[in-house]
Structure 1
Amino acid sequence: MSVSSIYQVIIRAACTTVLLLAGSAALAAAQPKSPAADATSAASASGSIAANQTEISLATLGNLSGPLRLAGAAVARSMSIPLSAREQARDAVLHLVVSNSVSLLMARSQLAVRINDRTVAQLQLSPRQPETTADIRVPVDLLRPGYNALTFAVAEHSTENCEDPNSPELWMEIDTTASTLRMQTELKPLTPTLANLSDLVDPKQWSARSIAIVNAARPDNDQQLASGGLLAQGIALRLRYLSATPRVLDAQPGTGAGMLSGLALTPLAGSDVLLIGARDALRRYIDPQIAARIDGAFLGVYPKPDDARHFVLVVSGRDDAEVNRAARAFAHSELPLPRSSELVVGEFDESTLPRWSASRTISGTAPWSFRQLGFTSRTLRPQDEVNLDVRLPADIYAPEDAKVTLDMNFSEGARMREDSVLDVRLNGRFAQAIALDQTQGAVIRHYRISLPLRDFHTGQNTLSLRALLVPSVSDRCVFRQTDNLEVTLLDSSTLTLPDASHYATLPDLKRFADGGFPYTVPHDGSGLAVRIASKDHSTIAAAWSLMSKLAQSQMAPLTSAQVTFGAPGAGRHTVLVGATPALPLALLDHAPWSPGKSISVMNSMGGSSDERSGSWFNRHWDALFDAPVHAAPIGDTLRGDLTLSQQLLVMQYRDAAGRALTVLTSASADELLDGVSRLVEPTYWGGLDGNVAVLSFNHPGLWTAQIGDTYETGTLGAMEWLGFSLSRHPWLGYAALVLLLAVFAASTSLLLKRYHQKQHRDADQ
C-alpha cells in the first residue's frame, strides 16, 4: 500500500469518528433529563471550579495567644479541626514550626502528631537542630464531619538514667502563629432536610460562605422587616461564634430552573438562598406545586436548581403574619424540626423562657449546677484543665464584699503528695486553690470556696479548674507511680450568686457589646426598637446584621423586637441605623455629635477605659464650666462638619423620653453596611467602650470616648444606693468623712468647753 493510500484511510477513519461523536452528542441532547440529573449536571458545570483552599494558623484554630509549650517527660495537648458535613476534604497539609531544648537526647526525644488518636507523623527532636520545620500531609480519610482531634504528644529525655520527669530542660514549643493548617475542601451535592439546617449553616465550613436573603418584594412594613431580621438572626445563631453579613436582594423575574422556575439565578450564583415572602408574591418565582402546598406558615428546603452544592430555603405563608411565624421558627435554632423538606408551622409558645435565661446567663440566688453551665463530669490528669463559661447579667450590682460561692463535688486519687492542688482561676487570673491532701484518697462533697463578685466581669467570664498533681515518690532512680494521679470533677457541683440588684450606669457601649444591654432586657427583644433610616438594601442589611450580632451575643433570637422605618413604639430603647444624610435630625438633639455640632472630648485611641475617662472630677469639669477641649478620632478635632467618609460612627445617649438611643451612621448607605460588617467582627466588637466610637476603614483599631453626662438605670435599696454612690464618687465619701470629723471635733470642743466652765464654776463657788 502506498503512503498516499495510508493517509486516505486515516483521514476517512477520523471523519467517521467525528460524525459518530456528533451523532451521539445530538442523541444525548434529545433525551429528557430527570431533575436529579439536572442538578448533578448543573453542579458539575458550575462546580468544575477547583476545590476551595484555606489556610489557618494554629493560633486561630486553637484560640491561642502564644506558643504551645509542651514541658515534661511525656505530655500531650490537643486542639480541634472542624469539618462541615456539607464538605468533602480533598487535601490537608499541616505546616509545623517547632523549637526544642538543646539538652534533649535525640535518640529518645520525639514529637508525635495524631489525628483522632491515629499517629500520622513523628518528628525527632534534635539538640543539634533545635529549630525544625515540617510539612505533614494529613490523610483526609481520617477527617470526619464535626470536630477532629489534632494531638501533639511529646516524649522528652535529657539523660539515660535517673531522670526527673519535670526537669526544666525538658521542653519544646510549637510556634502557633507560623504553624498553619492548609485544607482543600469542596462542597458536596445536597439532599437537605429541615432537621439538618444547622449542618447547612455551619461554622465548621472551610469553603467560602455566601448567603443571600431574597425578598419577594421590598419590605415596606414593620412585620416584613422583622421577618427578614429573624432570618438573619437564625443564620447568626447557627454560626454561633462567626459573624456573617448576608446579602439582601429583591427577587428578579427570569428564566430559572427547577423549583425556582421564574427567578433570575445569575445574581445568586455561588450563594445559599433564603427566599422570603407571602405566597401570592412568590407564585411567579417558584414551582406552582410548591406554591399550592403553602397553606400556613411554611418552611421548605431544597437543593439549588443550578448548583446542588447550595440550598434554597423558602419562608412563606398566606399573609405577613404567617411568614413571620415561619421566620420565628427558623430563628429558634434550638427548635427541633422534622427530617423532611417541608413543614407547615403551627403555633408554638416562646414565652416559657424566664428573664436572663438566654445563653445560660445566670442571676438570682438559686444554685446553678455545673451541668447547667454546659459542663459534664470529667476525670483530670496532671496539668489537665477544664473551663466553665459563667455569664452574668450586664447590669448586676452588689456590695463590694459580696461573694460567689462554689460548692464542689469531686473525688481524688490515693497516694498523691500533699501539695497536690486543684487550681481555680477566674478569667486567666489565680483565684484560689483546693488542697488535695487526702493520702488515702477521698470522695469530697460540698467543698465550698468563695470568690469576690467584684472579680467577675459583666457578661462572659471563664472559670478554669486545673489539676496540679504530684506523685508521692519523686526521688531519683525510683519508679514513679503516676496512674493514680487523677481527680474527677462532678457536674453536680454548683455555683451560687449573692443577693444582687439590677443597676447600671449608662450610656455604655461596653455593656452593649457584652450582652446587648439594655436592649436585650428582656431577652426576646420586647424592649428593643430598630429604626431604619432609609429603604435601600444596604441600610436594611446593616440593621439586620446588627440585630444578628445582638442575638448572637445572648444566643437567643429577638423575636419581639420592633423593626421599623417610622417612629418606634413607646417604652422601647432604640437603635437607629442609617447614613448621615438620612438620619432624622430631631433624634440627634441630645446626641454627643450631630451635623453642625462640635464635640469636646479627649482623644482616647487605645488604652484602658480608666485611662480614657480619668477621674470623675476631670470628666465633669468641662460640663460644669463649659471649658472646651477639642480632640478627635484619627486627628486633632472631631468637628461638626465631619463627613464620616470611610468611617463608621457609633454613639449611645439618652433620648428625650429618657430611653437609651444608639446610633450607627456613616457617609453613605454602602459605607454604612461596610462599617457594620466590620464592627460585628470580634476584633472590633470587643473593643467598644465609652459612649462614642469611631471605626476607620483606613486605620486599625477603634477610637472610643466618654462624652457628656451619665445616668443610672435599675432599682436599689437605700443602703445599696448609698454604697453605689460612694463607689462611683468616692470624693463624696471623703467629704462626708471630713464633715463627720468636723462635727465630731466641734461637738468635742463644745462639750469640753462646757465641762471646763462647769468645773471652774464649781471651783469659784
Structure 2
Amino acid sequence: MTIRGVLLQVCILAALAGMIIPGGAAAETVRIPLHQLAPARSVDLKCISAEHILQIPIPARWEVKRAVLSFEYVNSTGLLAGASRMAVRLNRTPVAQISLNPQAPEGAVKLVIPGTSFKAGYNDLAFAVAQHYTMDCEQPCAPDLWTTLKLDQAVLEVEFALKPVPLKLSSVGEYLFDPRISPAGAVNLVLENRQADLVSVAGLVTSGIARRFDYRSVRFSTADELQPGRDNVIVGSRKFVEAYLAARGVTPPKIDGPFLKLLHLPLPGAGAGTVDPTRGLLVVSGATINQLRLAAATLAIISPSFPNSDELTATEFKLADIPMHGGKLTVTYDKKYTFKDMNFSTVTLKGFNANAREIAFRLPADVLIKPNLYVDLSLHYAYGAALGPGSVINILLNGKHVRAIPLDNVKGDLIEGYKLRIPTYLFRPGDNYLRIDTAMIPQNNKSCENMLIENLFVTIFENSTLVFPQLPHFAELPNLELFMLNGFPFTRWPDGKGSLFYLTGNDPATVNAALNLAGMISQKNGYPLFGAQYTYTDPKRFDGELIIVGALAAVPETYRQQAPLKLAAESTVPYSFTRNWSSEDTVAVSRQISTLKPGMGALMEFLSPYSEGRTVVLMTAATPNDLEAMSAALTESSVQAASKGDLALVELEAPDFRTTALLVGKKYIAGRSGEVSAIKRYLYYYPWLYYLAMALVIVAMSLLLFHLLKRYRKRRLKGASAASDS
C-alpha cells in the first residue's frame, strides 16, 4: 500500500472516531473567578509569614490538560528586597515563587499549571508570603509587613476534556450531578407527555438531581428530542421508552416494573449506534404512574457506592420518619452535637496568621429567637508552651466577636470542657457560622536569637460540643428571604408535604419554570420533594402551601387581587420612596392602567385566600418564555440575596438581573403546623388587645374577691349579732 493510501485510511479512521466520540479529543475551557471562591474580593497577608488557601473544585469527569492562573497583588514599599517573596502552592506543591519588590510594589502574575497537578475533588490553592523589613531584629507583625491579593481580578482558566461516563448507576451521585461542575449544571428531560401526573414525576426527578448539585446553580429544560452537550433524562412509560430508544438505534432494555438505566447519550441524526460517551442518558420508566414515581424516588436517593450496574428494577421504597423543620445542616433542639457531627475534624492552627476554621449550621427558618436563653459551647483544646501575653482563641458568630479565650499558661496546656454560653439573640434563623480564629505571639519576641514559632499552635478537638435550647417556631410572613433560604414555608416538612404546584399552563416553558423552581427549593433544603403535588387545575379551597407558576394573563383573578402587586385592567402598584430607622419602607400606592411587560418577572408571597397561616408564592411574567427566564434568574445567588419582603421584581437581562424588593402587603404569622387561629393572629397584630384582656381579667377577679369578702363579712357580722342576743 502506498504512503498516500495509508494516510487516507488514517484520516478516515480519525474522522470516524470524531463522529463516534464527539468532544473526546476537543478540550474545553472554563473560567473560574477566584473571588467567587472566597468570602472577600481582596485578602491581606500580614506579618513575617501568612497564607491564604482557596479550594478549587475539579469534577471527577474532567481530565485537566492545564490551567492558567492570573492574579494581581500589591505589597508594602517597606518590605526588604531579596528577603520577601510569595509562594504559590497547589495541593502543598510549589508551582511558583514571586519576589516582592518594594520598588515595584504592584505586580501581575500569569502562571501555567500542568493538568497532572490537579486531582478530582477540591484542590488547595495556597498563596503564602514570607516578609521582612530588616536583616536585624524585627517585630513579627510590624505594620509594614503586608501584601494584598486582588482576588476580584484573579482568574483560573482550566482547560479540560471530558472523560467517558462510567455505565453504573452509582455514578449518578458522584459523577454526573456533581457540585464541582463549573460554571453551572444543565440537564434536559424528555417527557412522554406533560400531563400533571407525569410532571409530578419529573418534579421528583429534578428535585433529586438538584439536591446533588448542592450550592451549584443547575437549570432544567424539557424537549421532545435529546439535547447534545448535556446529560439527559427520559421519563415515560415502558411502551414510550422502548419505541423512543429503538427509533434512535438503541436496543431497548427489558423493562419489568419501576426501572432505571444509565446509557451513553445517543446522538440524534448521527446514525444508529452513534453515541457521545462523555454524556449520560438516564431512563426512568415503569408500566404505571405509580411505578414511575417509585423509580423516580429511587433515583433521588441512590448513593455513590451502589449499585455498580447500569440498571435496576425497584420493588419497594420506604422513607424513614421525617422530622418537621429538618433539612441540610439544620440542628435540632436539646441535642448535644460534637464538632465531628458538624463536619469539623480535629485541626491544629499554627503560626502568627493561622487560617481560621468555621462550622456552618442552620436554625429552622421559622425559629423565634427568645431572649435570656443560651447556646452552650464546651470547647476542648490544647496549645503550645512559651506563648506570649495577648495570645488568644477568638470565637466569632456570624462575623461578630463573642469571646476571646486567653492562652495564658506559659507551659502550654490541655483544656477539656471550657464552658462558653452564647446568647441566642446573636443567632439568626437560617445560616449561621461559628468561626474559631487565633492570635498567637511568642513569649520572647524582642530577641531575634531565640524567637521560636514552631510552638505557636492551638489544636481544637472534634469532641467539643454545642447544645441548643428549645426554641419555638413562630414566623412572621410574608418573607421571601426565608423562601430563598430553604423554601420555607413549603419545606416546613422537608419533603414538601402539604405543598402544591399549580401550573396555569402545560406549555414547555411553564413546565420548565416549575421544574427549575422545584429544583431550587430542593437544592436549598437538601431534600427531595417526595410529598409535593402538581396540578393544572385551580385548587380552590386548598388548605396547604401553594406555589403558582404561570404567565400573568393565565393567573386567576382571585390570586392577582390577593397579591401585593395587583396587576389587572387597572393595576394597583406600590412604590417605595423612603425608609425609616427600622429598615421598613414607606410605601405609596398608585392605581394606574399598566401591566407587566416582557423583560421582567415577579415573585410574590402572600396569605392564602383559603386558610389562615397558609402561604401562596406566585412566580409570574408577561409571557411563558419570560417565565422560564425568571425561573433561571432565581437560581442566581445575586437574585436570591436581593429577594426580600413580599415582592421581588427582576429584570431578566443577564448577567445583571437587577432586582427590586418591597414589603407592601399585610403581615401574617405561621406557627409550628403552619395554621394559626384568628384569635392568635389578632393578638399578634394588636397586642393592646392582650393587655386589655388581662386588665379585664384582673378587674373581674378583683370584683369577685370584693364580693366574696363582702358576703363573708356580712355572715360574720350576722353571726356575732346572734351570739350577743343570746
- Which TM class, normalised by the smaller chain length? 0.7 to 0.9
Question: Cα distance 1:335–1:310, how it changes in 2: closer, same or farther (>3 A)?
Answer: closer
Q: Which residue of 2 aligns with 1:683?
A: 638
Q: Which residue of 2 aligns with 1:86?
A: 61
Q: Classify the secondary structure of the residue corresponding to 1:542.
A: helix
Check if 1:330 corresponds to 2:330. no
Q: Compute the displacement of 1:612 (Å).
A: 3.5
Determine the C-alpha separation between the residues in 2 that align with 1:442 and 1:722. 58
Q: Which residue of 2 aligns with 1:362?
A: 331
Determine the C-alpha separation between the residues in 1 that align with 2:44 and 2:177. 35
| 1:421–1:436 CA contact under 8 A, matched in 2 | yes
Give the counterpart letter for 1:301 in structure 2: L
Determine the C-alpha separation between the residues in 2 that align with 1:292 and 1:609. 65
Q: Compute the displacement of 1:602 (Å).
A: 3.6
Q: Which residue of 2 aligns with 1:603?
A: 576
Determine the C-alpha separation between the residues in 2 that align with 1:418 and 1:706. 51
The C-alpha deviation readout for 1:345-391, integer Å capped at 9, x for no partner, is: 23232133422332121132222222222211212224331111120
Q: Which residue of 1 aligns with 2:651?
A: 696
Q: Compute the displacement of 1:401 (Å).
A: 2.3
Check if 1:655 corresponds to 2:608. yes
Determine the C-alpha separation between the residues in 2 that align with 1:49 and 1:581. 49
Q: Compute the displacement of 1:470 (Å).
A: 2.2
Q: Classify the secondary structure of the residue corresponding to 1:176.
A: strand
Pick from 423, 445, 469 the counterpart of residue 498 of structure 1: 469
Question: Cα distance 1:488–1:586, how it changes in 2: closer, same or farther (>3 A)?
Answer: same
Q: Which residue of 1 aligns with 2:105?
A: 130
Determine the C-alpha separation between the residues in 2 that align with 1:639 and 1:147. 54
Pick from 326, 341, 350 the counterpart of residue 319 of structure 2: 350
Q: Which residue of 1 aligns with 2:717?
A: none
Q: Compute the displacement of 1:403 (Å).
A: 1.9
Q: Which residue of 1 aligns with 2:543?
A: 571
Q: Which residue of 2 aligns with 1:641?
A: 594
Q: Which residue of 1 aligns with 2:200?
A: 226
TM-score, scaled relative to structure 2: 0.86
Question: Cα distance 1:302–1:641, how it changes in 2: closer, same or farther (>3 A)?
Answer: same
Moved over 6 A (4+): 16-22, 721-733
Give the counterpart letter for 2:567 in structure 1: S
Give the counterpart letter for 1:303 in structure 2: H
* Equivalent pairs, count: 672
Question: Cα distance 1:320–1:418, how it changes in 2: closer, same or farther (>3 A)?
Answer: same
Q: Which residue of 2 aligns with 1:376?
A: 345
Check if 1:57 corresponds to 2:33. yes
Q: Classify the secondary structure of the residue corresponding to 2:287.
A: coil
| 1:604–1:705 CA contact under 8 A, matched in 2 | no
Check if 1:713 corresponds to 2:686. no
Q: Compute the displacement of 1:225 (Å).
A: 1.4
Determine the C-alpha separation between the residues in 1 that align with 2:413 and 2:558. 68
Q: Which residue of 2 aligns with 1:758?
A: none
Q: Which residue of 2 aligns with 1:624?
A: none
| 2:262–2:310 CA contact under 8 A, matched in 1 | yes
The C-alpha deviation readout for 1:245-282, integer Å capped at 9, x for no partner, is: 1111135xxxxxxxxxxxxx5xx221211111111121
The C-alpha deviation readout for 1:382-441, integer Å capped at 9, x for no partner, is: 433111112001111143222222122222223323422111111112122222223333
Determine the C-alpha separation between the residues in 1 that align with 2:470 and 2:230. 50
Question: Cα distance 1:730–1:353, how it changes in 2: closer, same or farther (>3 A)?
Answer: closer
| 2:24–2:278 CA contact under 8 A, matched in 1 | no
| 1:185–1:206 CA contact under 8 A, matched in 2 | no
Pick from 179, 188, 203 the counterpart of residue 203 of structure 1: 179
Question: Cα distance 1:417–1:177, how it changes in 2: closer, same or farther (>3 A)?
Answer: same
Determine the C-alpha separation between the residues in 1 that align with 2:393 and 2:144. 25
Q: Which residue of 1 aligns with 2:706?
A: none
Q: Classify the secondary structure of the residue corresponding to 2:644.
A: coil
Check if 1:282 corresponds to 2:210. no
Determine the C-alpha separation between the residues in 2 that align with 1:638 and 1:149. 57
Q: Compute the displacement of 1:502 (Å).
A: 0.6
Question: Cα distance 1:297–1:154, how it changes in 2: closer, same or farther (>3 A)?
Answer: same
- Structure number with the higher strand fraction is 2
Give the counterpart letter for 1:240 in structure 2: D
Q: Which residue of 2 aligns with 1:113?
A: 88
| 2:59–2:178 CA contact under 8 A, matched in 1 | yes
Q: Which moved more, 1:143-152 or 1:641-650?
A: 641-650
Give the counterpart letter for 1:42 in structure 2: M
Q: Compute the displacement of 1:113 (Å).
A: 0.9
Matching of residues 139-154 of structure 1 within 5 Å: 139-154=114-129
Check if 1:183 corresponds to 2:158. yes
Give the counterpart letter for 1:704 in structure 2: A
Q: Which moved more, 1:48-57 or 1:368-377?
A: 48-57
Q: Compute the displacement of 1:729 (Å).
A: 7.8
Determine the C-alpha separation between the residues in 2 that align with 1:507 and 1:100. 48
Determine the C-alpha separation between the residues in 1 that align with 2:534 and 2:509. 15
Give the counterpart letter for 2:157 in structure 1: R
| 1:360–1:372 CA contact under 8 A, matched in 2 | no
Q: Which moved more, 1:661-670 or 1:366-375?
A: 366-375
Pick from 275, 289, 294 the counterpart of residue 255 of structure 2: 294
Determine the C-alpha separation between the residues in 2 that align with 1:609 and 1:83. 46
Q: Which residue of 1 aligns with 2:215?
A: 241
Structure 2: gaps (5+ residues): 267-274, 700-726
Q: Which residue of 2 aligns with 1:254?
A: none
| 1:579–1:665 CA contact under 8 A, matched in 2 | yes
| 2:188–2:233 CA contact under 8 A, matched in 1 | yes
Determine the C-alpha separation between the residues in 1 that align with 2:403 and 2:29. 45
Q: Which residue of 1 aligns with 2:407?
A: 436
Determine the C-alpha separation between the residues in 1 that align with 2:299 and 2:580. 40
Determine the C-alpha separation between the residues in 1 that align with 2:63 and 2:305. 26
Matching of residues 262-273 of structure 1 within 5 Å: 268-273=227-232
Determine the C-alpha separation between the residues in 2 that align with 1:103 and 1:333. 57
Determine the C-alpha separation between the residues in 2 that align with 1:728 and 1:474. 61
Give the counterpart letter for 2:555 in structure 1: L
| 2:24–2:161 CA contact under 8 A, matched in 1 | no
Determine the C-alpha separation between the residues in 2 that align with 1:613 and 1:726. 24
Check if 1:42 corresponds to 2:19. yes
Question: Cα distance 1:337–1:671, how it changes in 2: closer, same or farther (>3 A)?
Answer: same
The C-alpha deviation readout for 1:178-227, integer Å capped at 9, x for no partner, is: 12111111212233311121211222234875421111x212133x1121
Question: Cα distance 1:352–1:722, how it changes in 2: closer, same or farther (>3 A)?
Answer: closer
Question: Cα distance 1:531–1:725, how it changes in 2: closer, same or farther (>3 A)?
Answer: closer
Q: Classify the secondary structure of the residue corresponding to 2:488.
A: coil
TM-score, scaled relative to structure 1: 0.82
Cα RMSD for the two superposed structures? 3.1
| 1:237–1:333 CA contact under 8 A, matched in 2 | no
Determine the C-alpha separation between the residues in 2 that align with 1:484 and 1:444. 17
Q: Which residue of 1 aligns with 2:715?
A: none
Q: Compute the displacement of 1:442 (Å).
A: 2.5
| 1:361–1:390 CA contact under 8 A, matched in 2 | yes
Q: Classify the secondary structure of the residue corresponding to 1:501.
A: coil
Q: Classify the secondary structure of the residue corresponding to 1:286.
A: helix
| 1:418–1:438 CA contact under 8 A, matched in 2 | no
Q: Which residue of 2 aligns with 1:757?
A: none
Determine the C-alpha separation between the residues in 2 that align with 1:48 and 1:338. 26
Determine the C-alpha separation between the residues in 2 that align with 1:700 and 1:404. 39
The C-alpha deviation readout for 1:583-635, integer Å capped at 9, x for no partner, is: 12233342221313533534279x89943436xxxx7xxxxxxxxx33xxxxx
| 1:609–1:690 CA contact under 8 A, matched in 2 | no
Give the counterpart letter for 2:464 in structure 1: S
Q: Which residue of 2 aligns with 1:34?
A: none
Q: Which residue of 2 aligns with 1:507?
A: 478
